[in-house]
A and B are shown apart, each in its own frame.
Chain A
Amino acid sequence: MKLFARGCGLSQLPYTARAEDLSIRDRFEIEAHAATCPECAAALREVHSVDAALRSAFAPLRERRATLAPGRVRLALNSRRVERSTLFRLPRVFGRLAEVSVMVGVTLFVIGGSVEYPQSVAPQQPRSIIQDYFRKQPPTDEIDYFRWLRLNRTESAMVVSDPVRFPDGGRYDFDLVEPVRAPTASPR
């Protein structure tokens, strides 16, 4: 006993028949079958309207065309070939590495703030008696000698006269030198 009607086994055929490259004989057989099978006839009628709507809707889209030339493909192929070449890529990598190194160095310098060796970690060299002895000896060369004098000033050399000069009895403690002008040829 059948509880449910199973329907025609060919009911899918009308839906797909339009998409298939059927021969005239096959088409005739489907139409002949639809003439006797109400289910397939209804399916054929249903799919006709949907098929027409779809063909009409896709018609303007079928007119769309690409504006590409085959040169774009060759360009894509060549660029990929260049990208894959290790020989071309290697100098670029090293150049970039150098750039990054310089950038990192400059950044660290800016953050660190000075090129001097930090005083806290400056090496404490032991004092040498021999070096002290030779440092106290006057050099033989004239220029070095003056430099030595300037750098090794003794206490007596550091004594200077009073820089503030006060007038004494209305006069300065030295005579002011009047500038003497040369006689001119002026009639006055």
Chain B
Amino acid sequence: MVETLQQLLPGFLIPYFNALMQLGHNFFGALWPDILTVVWTVIKVMLIIAPLLLVVAYVTFWERKVIGWMQVRIGPNRVGPWGLIQPIADGLKLMLKEVVIPAGADKSVFLLAPVFAFAPALVAWAVIPFNDVLVVANVNASLLYVMGVTSIGVYGIMLAGWASNSKYAFLGGMRSAAQLISYEVAMGLALVVVLMVSNSLNLGDIVKSQGQGRFAEMGLSFLSWNWLSLLPMFGVYVVSCVAETNRAPFDMAEGESEIVGYHVEYSGMAFAVFQLAEYSAMLMCSTLISLLFLGGWLSPVRFLPDSIFWLFAKIAAFVFFFFWIRATFPRYRYDQIMRLGWKVFIPLCLVWLVIVGCWMMSPWNIWK
């Protein structure tokens, strides 16, 4: 870690850095490397979370603008130039508002639920690679880790619905639990196919494996990415992602015209945390789609260099896609969502799993 920093820092800072290291070593003795690791990890975590929260705030702004334009409206334009300070104002307002705890609610669970919803959405970012080297924790089974951690988010929603002591919130929580569990299965099966062809559970390796193939050799690497060879899985995964994040048209856990949602009793910052969770989950899903099916930071054509810019562009495109379908589609009904998940997606995934398996065993295997 010290060596990496020495490489990264500009030349004139290196003597100061070395002096600091020496000072620490003299002061703490043998504990110094451990302290250094902790400090360095915290810094890395902050480097991810702080920009992430800022991005989440501005994703809400962007959503309101984009949907506004789609709906012949202007969108927020009062606070600051072009309304740019709107998310900050919203955040401030929500922070200053009282968190009303309904009579009869289970107070501790009620307050814990937003944390349960939000924390997994942040924790998952630990293993997301932004390019070949930029990743907080480059673990071998990062895909498994992401799957495991993000599924905890459903507890937040379920507990919120249950702890509120409200029938509407309870219905919202139940719907959400059923929905998330069903679509997790379809998502998981789609991911199994991806890891079969990439031969790895590491997100970085999955991205790198997409950079090779016949089309990549021809210079058109975007045709080598998983989205084309695994097109049905790509479709299943994208739709499941929309469902997983409780976004329209699968937003029946929120369903503002029916049951108003699992967070109907929440106010102030506790409510804001649910919103943050929803949007960071949306960013997370867009990132995963980009990494797993669209070659992450890889450039679509050979004459342009690979860069983190491509990853951000792909994420932004998917976030826009999320907004777009929200402005376009009516909401599914509860039983229709379940039917789509269990009777269409899961059988489709299972069949495709077998097909890809056979394909890989055959002489026409393209993923060698």
Q: Do the two shown chains form a genuine complex with each other?
A: no
B binding-site residues for A, Cβ under 8 Å:
none
